[in-house]
Amino acid sequence: MAQLLPVRVMVPDVWDEVALEVPASTAIGALKSSALTRSGAGGSPDDFVAKFRGALLADETRSLRDVGMVAGSSIILVRRLRRPVR
């Protein structure tokens, strides 16, 4: 069994932080989908982009290990296109 990696996913749309423990081989896209579901942010995962250390994670098929995440790392999920404020 693969060792689990504790990570935090920030979802500013709902002012929430989701704590997950997943294998280091988990794809960024799978982590993103799981965090959005748990946070209740709504919308499609395609509406959001993932950023790690300020850099866009454009290839969401890469694993957490591939992008350099370690225990306690955090990523942020922001909307691909900003919504206007009314």
> What is the domain count for the chain?
1
Averages of pLDDT over each 10 residues, the chain, 86 residues: 87 91 96 93 89 94 95 93 70
The whole-angstrom separation of Cα 67 and Cα 25 is 11
pTM equals 0.86
pLDDT reported for residue 69? 94
Residue 86 lies in a domain: no
User: Domain limits at 21?
Assistant: 4-79
Q: What pLDDT score was predicted for residue 13?
A: 85
* CA dist., res. 42 & res. 9, Å (int): 15
- Residue 67 sits in a domain whose CATH number is 3.10.20.90
Tokens coding 59: 């290839």
| Nearby residues of 4 by Cβ (< 8 Å), 6 or more positions away | 21, 22, 23
At 84 the pLDDT is: 67
Q: Judge contact between 57 and 30, C-beta under 8 A.
A: no
In a domain? residue 48: yes
